[in-house]
Amino acid sequence: MAERKKLLLRLDPAVHDAVARWASDDLRSVNAQIEFLLRRALDDAGRSPREARPMRGPGRPRRPDEGDEGGDGAAEPER
Rounded CA-CA distance 45/79 in Å is 56
Residue 17 lies in a domain: yes
**Host domain of residue 22:** 13-44
Residue 50 lies inside a defined structural domain of this protein? no
CA distance 51 to 48: 9
Is 56 inside a domain boundary? no
Count of domains in the chain? 1
Q: Does any domain span residue 20? A: yes
In a domain, 37, yes or no: yes
pLDDT along the chain (79 residues), means of 10: 86 98 94 94 93 74 66 51
Residue 19 within a domain: yes
The model scores a pTM over 0.85 = no
